[in-house]
Amino acid sequence: MARLGHPKSGRPFAVTGTTTRGTSGSFVLRDDVISFPDGAGATYTVVENPDSAFVVPYFDNGDTVLVRQWRHAWDISSWEVPAGTFDEGEDPAECARRELAEETGLVATRYSSLGVVRGAAFLTGRAHLFLAEGLTESARNPETYEQDMEVLRLPFTHALQAALEGQIVHSGSVTALCRAAHALELP
């Protein structure tokens, strides 16, 4: 198997200026003016957004849980793994525990990191992926905007197949399910 190594750091250009175009909650829209070594310049538009946690719950019998919620920007409802953004000062594992309980009512005794991925190249936030095992059920406590959320328990293999066939379109969820399958050593 090919080993690509970790992403390369070290900016190949200079940032010569930044203009904040606006803020909304925890999001900041900015333009970075850059200068390349040959003297050419460009502007990169960046959205500063908070980190998030994505959780793949895995029951002892091989089931998992997906949630479906309305995604306004996409104009569709989307099946996804439980996920959400960090609260101020929260670490990745705390966020994963909170989001799993809020969205599904599940509490896990074991969380395993499945790594970190990034979204679109203009976003600063990182997605921390987790596998949650040793699950017990409790009451859901969804946030106000999650009142329409549906919760579905299904075999993990069915969720993975849905991700691979394009029925799950949320990129972080697809990646989390694939990484979970690898961690669980499933075919």
- Residue by residue, DSSP assigns 98-158 as HHHHHHH-EEEEEEEEEEEEE-STTB--EEEEEEEEEEEE------GGGTT-EEEEEEHHH
Q: Give Cα 6 distance to the centre of its chain.
A: 19
Domain with 31 in it: 14-48
What total of structural domains would you count in the chain? Answer: 2
- Based on the fold, state whether residues 101 and 175 are members of the same structural domain: yes
Q: For residue 1, is pLDDT > 70?
A: no
Q: Are strands 150-155 and 63-71 parallel, antiparallel or unpaired?
A: antiparallel
- Based on the fold, state whether residues 36 and 59 are members of the same structural domain: no
- Based on the fold, state whether residues 77 and 135 are members of the same structural domain: yes
Q: How many CA atoms lie within 13 A of 34 on its CB side?
A: 15
- Kindly report the number of other CB atoms within 10 A of residue 87's CB atom: 11
Give the CA angle between residues 63, 69, 73 to the nearest 5°: 135
- Based on the fold, state whether residues 30 and 108 are members of the same structural domain: no
Domain contains 7:
no
- Based on the fold, state whether residues 95 and 21 are members of the same structural domain: no
Give me the amino acid identity at 79: W
For 99-148, write each residue's pLDDT tens digit: 999 999 999 999 999 999 999 999 999 999 999 999 999 888 777 777 78
- Based on the fold, state whether residues 22 and 69 are members of the same structural domain: no
Domain contains 6:
no
For 44-59, write each residue's pLDDT tens digit: 999 999 999 999 999 9
